[in-house]
Structures are given as structure tokens and as C-alpha cells.
Amino acid sequence: MATSDANPPARAVELLRSADFARAYTLTVFAAMFGGHLIERLAGRVTLVTIVAALCVLGVGILVARRDEVSFLRLVPSTLILLCAWAFASIFWSTDAGTSLLRWLAMIGVAVLAVTIGHIRDTLQTVRALGDVLRAALVFSLGLEIVSGILLDMPLPFLGVQGNLAALGPIQGIFGTRNALGIVAVIALITFAVELRTQSVRPVVGTGSIVLAAALALLSASPTVLLLTTGVGVATGALALVRAAPVGRRRGLQWTLAGVVTASGIALYTQRGAIIAATGAADDLQLRTDLWTLAQYYIRLKPVQGWGWFGAWPPAEPPFATINILLGESHRSALNAYVDVLLQLGWAGVLLLCAVGGIALVRSWLDASQRRSTVYAWTPLVLIALAITSAFESYVLTGAGWLLLSLAAVRAGQSRSWRRRLDAGSPADTGLGHAPG
């Protein structure tokens, strides 16, 4: 009998180190995160928490089993560590330390999943796994909307599905809200396009996936989808322009694009009223403006440290409950990630959040502009999508959004972190950090 057969611990380690297990683990993590709303509605929050906790334990086990392949010096980006540390510190001045601690543990748990995937799968393998999960999620969402809106012609309140497919939207799919569906559809468009360009899937599958994601993005009727797709489209064009330029001219072109983006951002901000009116989102903006105005009052009371980390708003805790009472609403977030972090973690938290996303974006953008394969465009484009989304939703602070931000930060830090020079020659120096396969 082989040694591995007679030694269960050795067999367990061999399983944790295997490429097949890494792929299965990655698929399961993406499925749990993007299907979180569906799992919670069908089986309860305890089930979802149990799944995530089990995946965290497995993730730690995988990293330990692969410790000779993983660079622990470059395991987690410094900015991500600092943001999580500041969120932990906020527990001590939170209005409910127990709830804050539990929400912080959830934040850390999802970050552990992202760190694990970032070190056991390379970018192409990550894109393939995410593409498979998002294809299934969008197909299931469309099927659910067909059943609810056409076959039964009735809403499914326990899933948050309103059954509006026959009226061409808005639809929610398995994600609970039309805005969540729209965001996921745009992330899926980026992922499917990269799959198609890298020939990771058959052309018919890639093209069909893009059509499906585009159709669901339109049917979501989300007021943020137009701005999101426009921003991602412009970023895609700019990245393609940089990649096509001669190497000697790229630095100047990069600075020119940075200036254009800054000027455009200022112009868009000054003309935001006209743009919002043109997109037909004036009513939605009024709701958000009222919410942000009230949030600003409480932000001024604790501008530096905030009110403590909670992620999604707890319904009974001040100041969140007070804001909802005054508005006569039941918001679970500030509908703006930057305002939400400012309210919960103060200006220190906002600066750290911007550092996590901004540094990762610069690193991944430079990487994508210099590498030959299109797959490296996935990270900066997803980060840009999350940055734009954060102006209208707090999607990036919890669940799948936080997973993607953490994963992108880990991925970007693997090839351009300052710690790479200290760790040169390690097994993880290639930026892959996983066994072949």
C-alpha cells in the first residue's frame, strides 16, 4: 500500500495542494459570494455564514499546505491590512461593540477567501472560474424571471423577484435588487470579454455570454448601469490605446490620459445635474441626496474615526436607525461606499479605502499596459467598475464586492509590490503562487 494511502494526514495535505481542489475551491467561493442573497433567502443567514466560515477554514488549510509555494511576505497588501486594522480599532468606539466585532469577522472572512484565491490561481484561472459562475448565475436569474414574470405572472417576494420581465423590467434575478443585478452584469461583461479575447472559451459560448450579460444589464433598468458601462468602455478604449502605443511613448501617453481623466472628472461633477436629468434618474438622485445630507450631519459629529464598522446598516443602531426614521425608509447602506465608510470609519477609513483601490488600480493598469496577454486587463477594468459603482452603491463593502476588491488588490500586489524586491527569487516571485494546472 502506498504511503499516502496509509497516512490520512498526508492524503489530506496532498488533496489541499492539488490543482483540481484549487479549482473546485475557487468555483465554490465565487458561487457562495455571488449567490449569497439566494442562499440566505432559501436556507437562512446561519447557513450562509456556516458556508463562508467553512471556506475560510479550508482556505487557511490550503495556504498552510502550500506554504512552500506561497510568499508569506507578500501574502496580503499593506493597504488592505491597514484598512482591516482600522475597522477593528473602530470596534472600541462603536455604539455596539458586539455587532461590530461580528461584522468585522465577516469582513476578514471574505478577505481570507480573496487572499487564498489570489495565491492558488493565476489571473486566467480566476477569470475562467468567475466566468463559469457568473454564466450560471445569469442563466438562473433569467430562468427565474421567466418563471415569475411570464409563466406564473406573479412576483416571488421571498426571493425579491418582482416578476416584471413581460414589461421588460426592471428585473432583479437572484441578486435581490435591480442595481445589484446591473452591477453583476457589468462585471460579467468584463469577464466574458476577457475570456473571449484570450480564447478561454469557445466563440459561441463567449459571444452568447456577452449577449446574455448585456441583455440582463438592460433589463435591470438600473440607473447606474449606463454610467457604469460608459466608464468601463472609456477605460477599455484608453487601455487599448496605451497597449498599442510604442514602448517609448507609453509614459507620456499615460500622463496625458491621467490629465484627461482628471479634467473629465471635474467637468462631469460640475455638470452632474444635467447628466442625471438626461439619464432619467432625477427621482433616484433626490432619494440619495436626502440620504447623504442626513449622513453628513452625523459624519460631522465624528469626522475622523466614524461611528464604528458595521458594513450593512444594523436596523436598530444609531445613527443608522435615526437616519431611516427621519427619511421614513429602511436603507441598509448609504447608497455610496465612500459616504458609508466616512460615516462608519471617518476620513481615516476613506483614505485607506481609496489607498486599497487606488494603489491596486495603478499597479494593475501598468501591468496590463505592459503585458502582452489581454487577461491582465481584467483586474484594472474590474477595479474601475467597482470605483464607479461605489459612487452609487455600497456594493464594494460587503459580500461579492468586497471579495472582488480584496482579490484585485492581492492580484495587483503580486507583480508590483515593493515587497517583491525583498522577496525576489521566492517560489511566488512569478506572481502565480500555485501548482501547475
Q: Among 20-34, 63-77, 123-137, name the one with the lowest average pLDDT.
A: 63-77
pLDDT (0 to 100) of residue 85: 96
pLDDT band, residue 247 (cuts 50/70/90): confident
State whether the Cα torsion 121-125-127-132 is positive or negative: negative
Domain ranges of the chain: 3-422
Q: Among 12-16, 174-178, 351-355, 401-405, name the one with the lowest average pLDDT.
A: 12-16
With 60 as the cut, is the pLDDT of residue 422 above it?
A: no
Q: pLDDT tens for residues 106-144?
A: 999 999 999 999 999 999 999 999 999 999 999 999 999
Kindly state the cell numbers that stand for 357. 483601490
pTM for the whole thing? 0.90
Higher pLDDT, 391 or 286: 391
- The average pLDDT across 351-356 equals 95
Rg, C-alpha atoms of the chain: 22
pLDDT (0 to 100) of residue 271: 62
Kindly state the cell numbers that stand for 283. 427621482
- Counting Cβ atoms within 10 Å, is residue 313 exposed (0-12), middle (13-18) or buried (19+)? buried
pLDDT (0 to 100) of residue 429: 39
With 50 as the cut, is the pLDDT of residue 437 above it?
A: no
With 80 as the cut, is the pLDDT of residue 151 above it?
A: yes
With 80 as the cut, is the pLDDT of residue 261 above it?
A: no
Residues β-bridged to residue 161: 156
- The average pLDDT across 23-30 equals 96
> DSSP class of residue 156?
B
pLDDT band, residue 279 (cuts 50/70/90): low
Distances (CA, A) of 73 to 22, 310, 408: 21, 29, 18
For the chain, give the mean pLDDT.
87
With 60 as the cut, is the pLDDT of residue 431 above it?
A: no
pLDDT band, residue 273 (cuts 50/70/90): low
275: left (phi over 0), alpha (psi -120 to 50) or beta: alpha
pLDDT band, residue 405 (cuts 50/70/90): very high
Kindly state the cell numbers that stand for 298. 452625523
- Report d(CA 80, CA 395) in Å as an integer: 17
Q: Among 96-100, 235-239, 432-436, name the one with the lowest average pLDDT.
A: 432-436
Q: Among 176-185, 237-246, 357-366, 372-381, name the one with the lowest average pLDDT.
A: 237-246
Q: Is the peptide bond before 427 cis (omega within 30 degrees of 0)?
A: no
